[in-house]
Chains A and B, each alone.
Chain A
Amino acid sequence: MTGLVFEAAAPARAGRRPQRVRRARLWWLVPPVVVLLGFFGYPLVLVAVQSFTSKSGALTLSVWGDVLGSAEFRDAAWQTVLLALGSTAGCLLLGTFLALAVAFVPFPGARALARLVDTLPAFPSFLIALAFTFLYGSAGVFGAGGFLYSPWGVLLAEVTFYTPFVMRPALAAFGQVPAAQLEVAASLGARPGRVLRQVVLPEALPSLASGACLVLLLTMNEFGIVLFLGAKGVTTLPMLVYGKAIVTFDFPAASVVAMVDVVLSLVLYAGYRRAVASVGGGRRAAVDKA
């Protein structure tokens, strides 16, 4: 309501204010934008330039050809995508299940648990990897030596760490489903499975989608877990960038991998923003109807 009033009032206010003042206020944007461009835009442009530069400094496409053609790069790209998709699917299943249990079958301490889940994403991801070496390492609780350093170990670690990122939006969405709707559905004879499928999940779908997109983006770019598990057979794109730049000092090749990684991430990020926007739109529509 107040929003509407201000949208209507805004043009009048702008009209009365001298153009000069509004221009002057825009100058305040310059310092933060300069910092961002200086430490983010400019370096990324240089990486792009570097990827087209041979070691002797000449402009060339050969680095791109060499890297994209190499089996090492294709394996890493393939493994990155597979790991990210697998982790996202795992997080989605696990996060939805746990959120359902917390939201709809409440038990004493559920709220405290939800708050704990809120704080988990603030932990560093390498913590999980370190813990896994004790849990599943050769001399660990579930001593299963080989498993930890296979792609499955990395997958399980990523699912463990990123599940809260799905749980949070899922809990928020489930919290908005009115209890009365569930009771009506149940009183009309729908079994829990049907209530879940036809009442709860459709409501929560946009939130789950935005959580899944975020997890996909974060697992594509995950570095700490892969680095710590030191999985010999597992090289992801961020690990390849690190290896090329820090271990072999091959900056042009590292830049090529980095550019590919950035493009992949940007595409995923655009998808995430779209999913978030649809959550916001859906919620507003629901409020309007009410």
Chain B
Amino acid sequence: MLLWTRRSRVVLWLVAGVVFTVVVAAPLVMIVLASFAGHWTGVLPGGFTAAHYVDALSGDTFASLSVSVQTGVIASAAAVLLGTWAALAADGAPSRVRQAVGTLFHLPIAVPSVVLGLALLVAFSRPPLALNGTRWIVMAAHLMLLLPFAYSTVSAALARVDPLLAQAAASLGARPARVLLRVRIPVLLPAMSASASLALAMSMGELGATMMLYPPDWRTLPASVFALTDRGQVFLASASTVVLLVVTLAGVVLLGLVRGRGADR
């Protein structure tokens, strides 16, 4: 539309294609290549093998994968629940309260994850809640990092919902609990599922706060990948990263299926 001659279009496509390949495609290809590599001394790797995947799916790295999945599922479920709760509760409030709640729930975005990790470390290494050294401190950090995104997705969806829907249900005699469960929450399901997939992906890849907080028996996969690269086991690290991506994508696709079904109602 912007360029009218065939030649200029082809030139632009070529430039964009090269840039895209170098910037987006090359890193992903490199990781996948490295995860199968037996050795990498020349320009390209050689001695292709699947042994790194066998390693990645056993022992310590598998334990880390399981830790990551558990942390991701629990933290994102909690974040979506809490975010939806806050959005629903703020919905009926006076606009000043609603704005204050919105600002409050968006604030964790503005705080670096490392700083959040430090803050939790400082706060929960002492009574009344000595969570440091347990898995719960990692989950609390993930929850705080995910909460703003869950809240903003759900409250944006809530703003588009026609309030007549809930009013009609109430006028027909449905009690508030029934209106909430049968009308207000079902129309939010697509947004909740979208925020759940975002939260899951973010939690599975989280590094900053986790590096500050993880106890030895609750090391997430990204933290393990860092430990592996630090020790020079880069091929196993690549294989673990690919596994992490595949599991994350599977989770996101699964949540997308739920969303599809929710939309059909």
Chain B hits for A73, CB < 8 A: none
Chain A hits for B144, CB < 8 A: 36, 39-40
B250 within 8 A of A: no
Q: Is the CB of A182 within 8 A of B112?
A: no
Q: Is the CB of A107 within 8 A of B86?
A: no
Selected from A122, A160, A196, A237, the residue in CB contact (under 8 A) with B198 is: A122
| B211 nearest in chain A by CB position | A242
Q: Is the CB of B252 within 8 A of A228?
A: no
B207 within 8 A of A: yes
Chain A hits for B1, CB < 8 A: 104-106, 179, 182-183
User: Which DSSP category, helix, strand, loop or mixed, fits chain A's interface?
Assistant: helix
| Nearest-Cβ distance from residue A95 to partner chain B, whole angstroms | 10
B67 within 8 A of A: no
Given A6-B163, A26-B93, A135-B147 contact (CB < 8 Å):
no
Chain B hits for A265, CB < 8 A: 110-112
Chain B hits for A242, CB < 8 A: 114, 208, 211-212
Q: Is the CB of A98 within 8 A of B207?
A: no
Size range of the chain B interface in the assembly: 35 or more
B122 within 8 A of A: yes
A46 within 8 A of B: yes
Chain A hits for B237, CB < 8 A: 130
Given A134-B31, A200-B2, A258-B16 contact (CB < 8 Å):
no
Q: In the complex, which residues 17-55 of chain A have their Cβ closer than 8 Å to any Cβ of chain B?
A: 22, 25-26, 28-29, 31-33, 35-36, 39-40, 42-44, 46-47, 50
Q: In the complex, which residues 196-251 of chain B have their Cβ closer than 8 Å to any Cβ of chain A?
A: 198, 201-202, 204-208, 211-212, 222, 225-226, 229-230, 234, 237-238, 241, 244-245, 248
Selected from A104, A228, A258, the residue in CB contact (under 8 A) with B229 is: A228
Chain A hits for B92, CB < 8 A: 22, 25
Chain A hits for B206, CB < 8 A: 124
Q: Is the CB of B41 within 8 A of A139?
A: yes
Q: Is the CB of A131 within 8 A of B40?
A: no
| B252 nearest in chain A by CB position | A122
Mark contacts of A172-186 with chain B using CB atoms, 8 A cut-off: 1 yes-contact digit, 0 otherwise.
000000010011001
A100 within 8 A of B: yes
| A17 nearest in chain B by CB position | B92
Selected from B112, B198, B226, the residue in CB contact (under 8 A) with A228 is: B226
Chain A hits for B230, CB < 8 A: 230
Q: Is the CB of B16 within 8 A of A127?
A: no
Q: Is the CB of A47 within 8 A of B110?
A: no
Chain B hits for A141, CB < 8 A: 26, 30, 43-44
Mark contacts of A235-264 with chain B using CB atoms, 8 A cut-off: 1 yes-contact digit, 0 otherwise.
001100110011000010011001001100
Q: Is the CB of B119 within 8 A of A32?
A: no
Q: Is the CB of A40 within 8 A of B108?
A: yes
Inter-chain CA distance A119–B27, complex, in Å, is 15
Given A134-B33, A246-B212, A123-B245 contact (CB < 8 Å):
yes
| Nearest-Cβ distance from residue B105 to partner chain A, whole angstroms | 7
Q: Is the CB of B89 within 8 A of A39?
A: no
| Nearest-Cβ distance from residue B122 to partner chain A, whole angstroms | 5
A-B contacts, 29 of them at CB < 8 A, read A25-B89, A32-B83, A32-B105, A36-B108, A40-B116, A43-B119, A44-B111, A46-B122, A98-B20, A102-B16, A125-B207, A126-B225, A127-B241, A130-B225, A130-B238, A131-B30, A141-B30, A143-B43, A182-B1, A183-B1, A192-B4, A228-B229, A246-B212, A258-B112, A258-B114, A261-B112, A262-B112, A266-B111, A269-B109
Q: Add 8 more A-B contacts to A126-B205, A141-B43, A237-B112 (CB < 8 A).
A: A40-B116, A43-B124, A122-B202, A123-B205, A127-B31, A134-B34, A139-B40, A183-B1
Residue ranges of A at the interface with B (Cβ–Cβ < 8 Å): 2, 6, 22, 25-26, 28-29, 31-33, 35-36, 39-40, 42-44, 46-47, 50, 94, 97-98, 100-102, 104-107, 113, 116-117, 120, 122-128, 130-135, 139-141, 143, 159-160, 163, 179, 182-183, 186, 192, 195-196, 200, 217, 220-221, 223-224, 227-228, 230, 237-238, 241-242, 245-246, 251, 254-255, 258, 261-262, 265-266, 268-269, 273
